Structure 1
Amino acid sequence: MTAPTQRKFDLEGYRALAALVVVVFHAYQHNRYGADWTWPLQGTLWHDALMNADMLVDMFFILSGFLLGLPYAKAVLGVGKPRPARAFLLRRAVRLIPLYMIVVLVVWSISNPVLPGDWRDLLLHLTFTHVWSDEKIFYTDGPAWTLGVEAHFYLLLALLGAVGQRYLTPVASRRKRITVMVAVPAFLIVISLLYKVWAVYLRGFPIEGWSIWFNPVAKLDIFAVGMLLAVASAAGVRWPNAAVRTLVGLSGGAVVAAGVWLRYAHLPDTFTHTFFGTGIMLLIAATALSTGPGPYWLRWPPMLSLSMVSYSLYIWHEPLLRVLDSAGLLPTPAGGPTAFLVTAGLLLGATIPVSYLSYWMIEVPAQRIMGAFDADGRSRQYYAPLPDPRSA
């Protein structure tokens, strides 16, 4: 297998797509009405499509496993630079924490105007451990549960990357290195599936046991599938032509469709997400492992622009939905499909401008923190003494 060519993957549009769909779904969820919580489009194909929109959250985990695991995989195979765990975690912290902390503190402060307030909720969110609490996992800012899961994955990836670079890089056989690199995420997938079997069939946890179904172990198989894609890319796997690329994409769509069918056949959701993650990975692989350009919509300028602010879009939209609702600016949910469309339009209209403002005022300045550190994640010595000219 030849060494992989160095190129920029046309994948950022996927993040924008996932973020936009999540925003629309939460607008749809907000418009349930009546004593039995009737959905506005219930009984239509649009309702079925929106009720399966949660699979796009899996896309975030797949992209993280792939894009963050790829530099480590390249380093172990000798086709990329070493990646110190310190530098990796510092970059992820700079990318994730500042905006996350601001949103959590702002929303929590508004929700708890009298101190000490719900200090336990604040502590759990600030430490990314709210994903282990049934009561608090969706509290303060519901979408933030995925960021708590991601934080756990970053720590795991830093550990695995450090171990791999330390013990696998010296192995002379490239095939052995690839075998181990495939075995590790495969093992993580098995751990996650065994956990799900234990939770569903041995313990019988209820659907409302949110921390059981949304914690890092339950989502580990999805992240690990993304890691497998990273190994394949680093190992030089490429589709030889457009026909193969199309076949891979169609296979991904078929796996996703199988997951949807199994969901309606009453397979527990925690397992259907394994299908969703695998199918989405294949859809992404059709582009990521191609030597040619991906679909134009991934490179469409408005989509690229939205992908740039997708993190802000994702984390701000639920608080803004609550603000619009409390201000009486949203239509009555009983208005049916029309009310939902208006709600979705107003929410997107409010969230997109706020996302761009948040990106330039919070995310960009936060990323400049990295200027205080070198490539290894160590503090730059700006005031190091000059060398003694007499020693020259």
Structure 2
Amino acid sequence: MTAPPQRKFDLEGYRAVAALVVIIFHAYQHNRYGTWWTWPLEGSLWHDVLMNTDMLVDMFFILSGFLLGLPYAKAALGDRKPRPARAFLLRRAVRLIPLYMIAVLIVWAISNPVLPGDWRDLLLHLTFTHVWSDDKIFYTNGPAWTLGVEAHFYLLLAALGAIGQRYLPPMESRRKRIVVMVAVLFGLIAISLGYKFWAVYVRGFPVEGWSIWFNPAAKLDIFAVGMLLAVAAAAGVRWPNAAVRTLVGLTGGAVVALGVWLRYAHLPDTFTHTFFGTGIMLVIAATALSTGRGPYWLRWPPMLSLSMVSYSLYIWHEPLLRALDSAGLLPTPAGGAGAFLVTAAVLLGASVPVAYLSYWMIEVPAQRIMGAFDADGRSREYYAPLPEPRSA
């Protein structure tokens, strides 16, 4: 059975929501105060809600695994032309690197006004290896750790995709190709869970060992769960009606709730994120594998617009938070809930316009780099001789 034609996925709203929630959480985190870093809403339900919004970062990895893995899954099943690793990595580099490098260099230069500065920090960030450093993983630009992880995932996906496209299509059975892909992805999940078990129960790394809990190995299971959704979509899995779609979405919500309950039951956070990622994948699957349109809010024009600039919104908001605080434009954290709400409003008010400016001035021009390459990622021959005109 071949996969049915796929309409455009209505997933943009998810990315916009994740970026906005991350900004609100960082505004909340900024308003801790006192010797014991008291949270402004501590002891309330809203505090518990905000403290669990970190799960939405997993949504970025799920969406990447799904959307980037889908073309490779289709090619491995023989349903589309193979995708050269060179072209894939070039497109990801053009999408990720220009804005990332500009942001890192600007923030680093401001933070290191006297040379030579912290060159180790700069080198780690420019090579996306800060995710392996406890003291630098959240330095310079805290949210950039996810981009370091994503860069590792792109290399892994390019390698797996190249192997899958070469060796799976010759298999006589479509079912076998699907089984092999699913087995490989469950293997990646098992490797990640095994790494986490080793880190928690064998080595007993401390909670503050940030590079242990936020490196690519610790997040590999979440990325692989997103790729499982890509395999399901490529294989032709579709929900037959709205009732099934709703049931899948509710199941995803229940899995997320289970992850929250296990967190409060003291399951190590590195494992609760596996539940969060699985639940989020099911919520996204309710829309992605539906034969009908999903909720309107996912394609609501303002949400689509924010999704368009979500990368810029995500990468600039923390430097802006620090700049606003240094300029004295934010309330004193000890102001409690009111200070948090004002901080969130000011940060959003500054971040959204900057994100649109960044998108049109950095992201859009960077995308034009692809014009110098063909669909296979090779340089275009602009000066090749023109063909001889046909004789009449």
Instruction: Compute the TM-score of the two structures, normalised by the length of structure 2.
Output: 0.99
- Aligned twin of 2:195: 195
Q: In structure 2, what is the Cα distance between the partners aligned to 1:390 and 1:258?
A: 70
Aligned to 1:142, what secondary structure does the other structure show? coil
Residue 80 of structure 2: SS of its match in structure 1? coil
Counterpart in 2 of 1:286? 286
Contact 1:4 / 1:233 at 8 angstroms: preserved in 2?
no
Once the two structures are superposed, the pairs formed by residues 127-276 of structure 1 within 5 Å of their partners are: 127-276=127-276
Q: CA deviation at 1:121?
A: 0.2
Q: Which structure 2 residues correspond to residues 1-392 of structure 1 after superposition, within 5 A?
A: 1-388=1-388
The amino acid across from 2:198 in the alignment is W
d(CA) in 1 for partners of 2:389, 2:45: 77
Question: Does the 8 Å contact 2:101/2:126 carry over to 1?
Answer: yes
Distance 1:4 1:52 in 2: 37
Contact 1:82 1:165 in 2 (8 A): yes
* Structure 2 counterpart of 1:360, one-letter code: W
244 and 108 in structure 1: CA distance in 2 versus 1, 3 angstrom threshold: same
Partners of 1:390 and 1:262 in 2: CA distance: 73
SS of the equivalent of 1:140 reads coil
In 1, Cα distance between the equivalents of 2:390 and 2:375? 31
CA contact (8 A) 1:195 1:218 kept: yes
The DSSP-based 3-state class of the residue aligned with 2:204 is coil
Distance in structure 2 (CA, Å) of the matches to 1:70 and 1:278: 17
| Superposition deviation, residue 76 in structure 1 | 1.2
- Counterparts of 2:2 and 2:87, CA distance in 1: 29
Matched to 2:190, the amino acid is V
* AA partner of residue 17 (structure 2): L
Give the CA deviation at 1:79: 1.9
Q: 1:258-288 deviations in whole A, cap 9, x for unaligned?
A: 0000000000000000000000000000000
Residue range with higher mean Cα deviation, 233-242 or 30-39: 30-39
- Kindly indicate whether the alpha-carbon contact (under 8 Å) linking 1:13 and 1:298 is maintained by their aligned counterparts in 2: yes
Aligned letter for 1:122?
L
CA distance in 2, matches of 1:340, 1:276: 26
Residue type at the aligned position of 2:135: E
Aligned to 1:322, what secondary structure does the other structure show?
helix
What amino acid is aligned across from residue 257 of structure 1 in structure 2? A
User: TM-score, normalized by length of structure 1?
Assistant: 0.99
Q: Using the alignment, how far apart are the partners of 1:16 and 1:386 within structure 2? A: 46
CA distance in 1, matches of 2:381, 2:69: 30
Q: Give the drift of 1:2.
A: 4.5
Letter in 2 for 1:220: L
- Give the share of equivalent positions with the same residue, in percent: 88
- 1:202 and 1:166 map into 2 onto residues whose CA distance is 38
Q: 270-279 or 5-14, which moves further after superposition?
A: 5-14
Number of aligned residues: 392
CA contact (8 A) 2:2 2:79 kept: no
C-alpha deviations, 1:130-186, integer Å up to 9, x for none? Answer: 000001000000000000000000000000000001111111210110010111111
Q: Stretches of 4+ moved more than 6 A in 1? A: none
Amino acid at match of 1:174: R
Distance 2:172 2:327 in 1: 65
Amino acid in structure 2 at the alignment position of 1:163:
I
CA deviations on 1:14-60 (whole Å, 9 max, x unpaired) are 00000000000000000001111111111111100000000000000
Following superposition, the deviation at residue 7 of structure 1 comes to 1.1
Alignment deviations for residues 60-117 of structure 1 (CA, whole Å, 9 cap, x no partner): 0000000000000011112222211000000000000000000000000000011110
Cα deviation, residue 388, structure 1: 4.7
Letter in 1 for 2:154: Y
What letter is aligned with 2:246? T
**In the alignment, residue 374 of structure 2 is paired with which amino acid?**
D
Comparing 271-280 with 1-10, greater Cα deviation is found at 1-10
- Give the Cα separation in 2 of the matches to 1:390 and 1:215: 59
The 2-side partners of 1:241 and 1:386 are apart by: 54
For residues 108 and 361 of structure 2, what CA distance do their matches in structure 1 show? 20
SS of corresponding position for 1:54? helix
User: Structure 2 regions of 5+ residues with no counterpart?
Assistant: none
Letter in 1 for 2:127: T
Q: Pick closer, same or farther for the CA change 1:388–1:218 going to 2, 3 Å.
A: same
1:368-390 deviation line (CA, Å, top 9, x unaligned): 10000000000000001223559
Q: Residues 333-374 of structure 1, C-alpha deviation per residue, up to 9 Å, x if partnerless?
A: 111000000000000000000000000000000001000000
